[in-house]
Amino acid sequence: MKQIIIGAGPAGLSTAYNFARHDMESLVLEKEAVIGGLAKTLEFKHDGEVYRTDAGPHRFFSLNPSLYKMIEELLGEDWVVVDRLTRQLIDGKYFNYPVDIVQALRNVDPFIAIKMILDYANATVRNILVKPPRITFEDFVVLNFGRRLAQFNLLNYTEKIWGIPCNKIAGSWAAQRIKGMNAFDIVKKALIKGGGPRSMIDSFYYPKKGIQEIYDKMAEFATSKGARIEKEVAIKKITHDGSKITGIEYSKGGKLVNEGVQNLISSMPITEIVQILEPKAPERVIKAAKSLGYRDQVQVFLIINKPHLTKDTWLYFPTTPPTFGRAMEPKNWYPTMSPENKSSLLVEYFVFKGDELWNMNDDLIIKKTMHEIEWLGFAKTGDLLKGWIIRTEKAYPMWDLTYKQRLDVLTNHLKQFSNLYCVGRNGRYFYNNQDHSIETGLLAAQSIIDGKKYDLDNIGMENTYFEAGMLYKKK
């Protein structure tokens, strides 16, 4: 009988790490050949040289100082502060990100600038007099920023990421991502810029070898205390007696393995776990699980024969062209992510699995992407040394207008199992960052260690803008 953890991403490894800190062993079952989950760092070799990139820009930030302390202990000198420069290209012009309203008003067409101010005034008056409900993402941003400013970068970029109109996206997503932030706060920040302590927007902590280094260190510590991490497993079924999870069956290398379960901490998608229960979940639960969707990604990693391509840590592209949504130059995160005289780019397309781009031949995607990179002026097609495609399923849970009712069907069904803890991003179908996945993992383990269930549901529900606050200072 064991503490069994599904998934070796941030949530699963934090669980194993906390068990290990309390001298408790665990078994981690991971379906991939590598650890790190969505926060993995990929390594590519070309001409004997090594290039690293995270699978999408992954900076660490949190409102919880104890997480910084924990990671500092794990990484020591490898935990460094990186100055952030993030810009967004809108209709051919670069603007700061998060948006600096003063800069935006100065650089857009004067008619658009006037419209932005009038729309914001209109939204403010409506907020005071009518107090309109904020049901959709569109309601939320239009009422906080005014329609024209919302259209400037928020509505179009969000539609690029999600692939559905903003009036079909749940307002709770905006509440989580931009709560407490409005046009007035942004103007205030722009006007009092300069001096002062560094905020989480201006800089962030990052491991020298890429974001996965945090999770490599957690895994190293956990295994040194007896944890076992089994990779490339396929979980077949999870058995239960109606009130507890009793066992798990998985295959590895063609062999079927059965384990008894004392507690199960799962970061696999909640939509998948309910489908492998034995006895089976009722049909309405399976139906709800199948109806919850995800947004997937096609990423393109390009090695370029130039020492530098951009000055940004990462860039957003709310308008089209280009057709991709975001790009990062890993060398601007830490210089040794690429060799000295070359650089690389990770370019991200947001898609649904099965879309034309998802099915496109890798060489064609690389060709198309280089064409757009050339249009942006970062490099010429002839500068490309080699490219790779990374396809990622279930990168983002789709919080559409009715997801919560359907998700409740799953969570209510799973509540009957007193020794099951659903943690992490897809484990909870919660659009969260690494810090919240880590917190759910730590707290699930702590619940088992202390023998009382802590409330995991409120993790990630902070009532402030998600980037608010000052940067944690090292000891």
Ligand X SMILES: Cc1cc2nc3c(=O)[nH]c(=O)nc-3n(C[C@H](O)[C@H](O)[C@H](O)COP(=O)(O)OP(=O)(O)OC[C@H]3O[C@@H](n4cnc5c(N)ncnc54)[C@H](O)[C@@H]3O)c2cc1C
Q: Which residues bind ligand X (CB under 6 A)?
A: 6-12, 29-32, 37-39, 56-60, 235, 267-268, 272, 395, 424-427, 432-435, 437
- CA separation for the pair 248, 398 (Å, rounded): 28
Residue nearest to ligand X (CB): 9
Is the Cβ–Cβ distance between 264 and 405 less than 8 Å?
Answer: no
Peptide linkage before 98 cis (omega within 30 of 0): yes
The string of DSSP codes covering 174-204 is HHHHHTT--HHHHHHHHHT-SSSPPBTTTEE
- CA separation for the pair 451, 432 (Å, rounded): 26
- CA separation for the pair 154, 225 (Å, rounded): 46
Nearer to ligand X, 251 or 320 (CB): 251
CB of residue 197 vs ligand X: minimum separation in angstroms? 21
Q: Where are the beta strands (DSSP E) in 180-273?
A: 203-207, 228-230, 233-240, 245-252, 255-266
Nearer to ligand X, 183 or 298 (CB): 298
- CA separation for the pair 245, 274 (Å, rounded): 12
Nearer to ligand X, 32 or 259 (CB): 32
Nearer to ligand X, 309 or 438 (CB): 438
CB of residue 117 vs ligand X: minimum separation in angstroms? 32
- CA separation for the pair 105, 405 (Å, rounded): 41
CB of residue 305 vs ligand X: minimum separation in angstroms? 26
Nearer to ligand X, 11 or 303 (CB): 11
- CA separation for the pair 399, 294 (Å, rounded): 9
CB of residue 221 vs ligand X: minimum separation in angstroms? 17
CB of residue 359 vs ligand X: minimum separation in angstroms? 20
Strand, coil or helix: 413: helix
Nearer to ligand X, 119 or 329 (CB): 329
Report the candidate in 334, 411, 408, 323 with the shortest Cα–Cα distance to residue 370.
323
CB of residue 229 vs ligand X: minimum separation in angstroms? 11
Angle of helix 65-75 relative to helix 212-224, nearest 10 degrees, comes to: 70
| Residues in contact with 45: Cβ distance below 8 Å, sequence separation at least 6, in sequence order | 51
| Residues in contact with 473: Cβ distance below 8 Å, sequence separation at least 6, in sequence order | none
Beta bridge partners of 277: 238
| Secondary structure of 416-473 in HEC code, one letter for each residue | CCCCEEECCHHHHCCCCCHHHHHHHHHHHHHHHHHCCCCCCCCCCCCCCCCCCCECCC
Nearer to ligand X, 25 or 32 (CB): 32
Nearer to ligand X, 171 or 441 (CB): 441
Nearer to ligand X, 21 or 236 (CB): 236
CB of residue 271 vs ligand X: minimum separation in angstroms? 10
Nearer to ligand X, 35 or 101 (CB): 35
CB of residue 287 vs ligand X: minimum separation in angstroms? 20
CB of residue 57 vs ligand X: minimum separation in angstroms? 5
CB of residue 211 vs ligand X: minimum separation in angstroms? 8
Is the Cβ–Cβ distance between 26 and 3 less than 8 Å?
Answer: yes
- CA separation for the pair 211, 58 (Å, rounded): 7
